[in-house]
Structure 1
Amino acid sequence: MGQNRSVAELLRTEMDKLTPTERKIARVLLANYPVAGLETIAQLAARVEVSGPTVLRLVGKLGFDSYTAFQAALRGELEARLQSPLVRREAASEAAGTDFLAGFVRRQSELMQQTAANVSAAEFDGAVALLADPKRRIWLLGGRLTEPLAAYLAHHLKVVRSQVTQLRALPASWADHLVDMDKHDVLVVFDIRRYWQDAQRMAEMAAQRKVQVVLFTDQWLSPVSRCAKYTLAAHTAGPAGWDANTPLLMLIDALIAAVNTRHWSDIHDRLQELEQMRAALGEGGG
């Protein structure tokens, strides 16, 4: 298995190389990830209505020499999903040398490179197209540590398009917005380990209303991925026990840049008018 790649990433990136029968298994695994992969071979084969040897062939294509090794990887991911920063810090080894900043930057660079290598062009381009579509309303939701990321993306989108709303991280207030959502809307959710059940419930209810869900998550995949149209997963396992938001921010900046570059003709006039208004209002600063 590729270094630092989750089984979910392997399934998503290898999907086009699989046979139609193997893709059926992959979709079932992703739809109930990682629990479906912890079933026995017989149980998983019966669920997908394929043979046991077909399951083993898929596992082999993912780089595992046995179903036992495949399940061990999934159990490791399940444990990683639930780890607190305290546990991660105690398990982490000290970085070599005394130049902490240089080591930290190297690790961030590695995480960003791993992120870029494992986000498919189809997922990224699909998210860009949805967020740039002026006919769609955009709603954004972030959690305790990712709410600033949702706000950052919301601020940028508000500059280049209309109908952008950031939801407060208060589940009791969501119904007031959910009741107005329909197939013309996009819900952008930020959800990293240890995942937010309220966000999952909100995304599922939105999806039931035909809302297109775009998910920003980590390599272990938030349960929101089960109902997401597009999933952008970042490698976030940073040093000192805290997951890093830098790779997620890189994805956000790349998405913003792509929206501006690919849809500049639609954005130009709006920006020009906006700048004139800011000048008239005496706005200064970024």
Structure 2
Amino acid sequence: MHRIAALAVAAVLLFPPAARALDALRVSAIPDESPTELQRKFEPLGKYLEKQIGIPVKFVPVTDYAATVEGLAAGKLDMVWYGGFTFVQARRRTGNAIPLVQRAEDARFHSKFIVPSASKAQSLKDLKGGSFAFGSVSSTSGHLMPRYFLLQTGIDPDTDFGKVAYSGAHDVTAKWVEAGKVDAGALNESIWQRLVDEKKIDTSKVRVLWTTPEYQDYNWTVRGDLDPKLVEMLRAAFLALDPAKPEDKAILDLQRASRFIPTSPDAYKNIEQAAKSAGLIKD
């Protein structure tokens, strides 16, 4: 009996933790919005996924973008909602993080540059010398791509702005511009539209100055060492969400998605190149 027990233990140890049955799927998201908003958006999706995969799904809030990368690498998180840049960081950190799906909207995403309505700025070049707010340092749509397009326009944020601040979240950036704390800021178009739709930003005080060209952005990513069957179940669950079904549409609406579509690491090669061009990552 002792020999059998020892063999059983040895067999278990041959498999990495992720290959064993999970008690729960631990899910997180980059904190690009307030914790309460992230939890509100995820709750119905979490309940849906529980039914589809047959195990509890637990949302694990984090304090910053880097915590999602380290959590995935350490096996403390199983699935994360990433922006394109943070996905690139996670992929480089782990070597095998798997992007499952993205919203259809993420295949053609944009950032918005906003200014107070009374601003005299008519183009990006008019922002020189003023104060500017990005979101998180690790944000794709709140920092990397706005920085990249500023550089393409001939504006170096580190030398051409009087002051650069990092708000930590897109909705905070919008509020800073609205309150006149900064002369301009950049945030992702999806959150900008939500703030406008929900009247959480006063459009008589803030206006869009410029919209970037399109780029790939957000995705749901899993650890590369998860059970492949679970990975495929999760991908299938996202792809099965049907906007023609009221219950599914309610979930999609909270995700600000028309539907989810497959994605792959190659979709984010341009993000990686932009990060290199902007000096935010090095080979």
Query: TM-score, normalized by length of structure 2?
Result: 0.31
- Higher RCO (C-alpha under 8 Å, 6+ residues apart): 2
Higher strand share: 2
